[in-house]
Amino acid sequence: MMASAFASSGLHSSAQGGFACGHKLQQRKPLRVVSPVPFTVEAAHKKGGGSTKNGRDSNSKRRGVKVYGGQPIRAGGIIVRQLGTKFHPGVGVGLGHDYTLYALKEGIVSFKHSKYINSVSVLDVEAYQVPEGNQLKEGSRKSRHREMYTPRAQQRQQQNKAAAPVPV
C-alpha cells in the first residue's frame, strides 16, 4: 500500500527499508542515543556570599554597684561586680575570685573614698551614722514634703487595719 502511494510521487520503496530517490539510496536508522549516565545540563554557577567581619557581640557581664551606700544588706549579698579592684574590700566585705565584693555579715553598706583607694565596708546597724550630706534637714524640701504627705507604706497599713474584719 505504501508502494502504491510512493509510485505516483516517483519514490519507490526498496527491499532494504530505504527509499530510492532517483538513483541514490538513502537508509534511515532511528536516532537513539544510549548513555549510561543520565543526561543533565550544567549551567554556569558560582556560589555567592561574601565574608563579613561584623555582626557579633558578646553577652553583657552586668558589672557595677549592686547595693549602694546607706542600704541594708544580708550576709553573702553581692555589693559590687567589677573587673579588677576598682573598689577594695573593707571591714565585713569579702573579695571573690572574679573581684566581686560580697558582704560577710549583715549590716549597712558604706563606701569610703580616699585619695588612692576606694573601699567598701559593711557596718553594724547600730554603728552606722548617716553621712552629713544625707541627713534630713529642717525646712528642706524633703522634710516639708514628708510633713504634707504621709508615706505610702503608712497609708497602706492604715487601709489594711480599716479593711480587716472585726472578730465577733
Residue 39's contacts (CB-CB under 8 Å, 6 or more residues apart) are none
Cβ neighbours around 118 below 10 Å, total: 14
Specify the residue for cell string 497599713: 157
Judge contact between 87 and 101, C-beta under 8 A: yes
Give the containing element (helix H, strand E) for 26. strand 24-26
Cβ neighbours around 102 below 10 Å, total: 21
pTM for this entry: 0.53
pLDDT in tens, the chain (168 residues): 555 555 555 555 555 555 555 556 667 777 776 667 777 777 777 776 777 788 889 999 999 999 999 999 999 999 999 999 999 999 999 999 999 999 999 999 999 999 999 999 999 988 888 777 777 778 888 888 888 888 888 889 989 988 877 777
The x, y and z cell numbers of residue 164, run together, are 480587716
Topology of domain 64-123, per CATH?
OB fold (Dihydrolipoamide Acetyltransferase, E2P) (2.40.50)
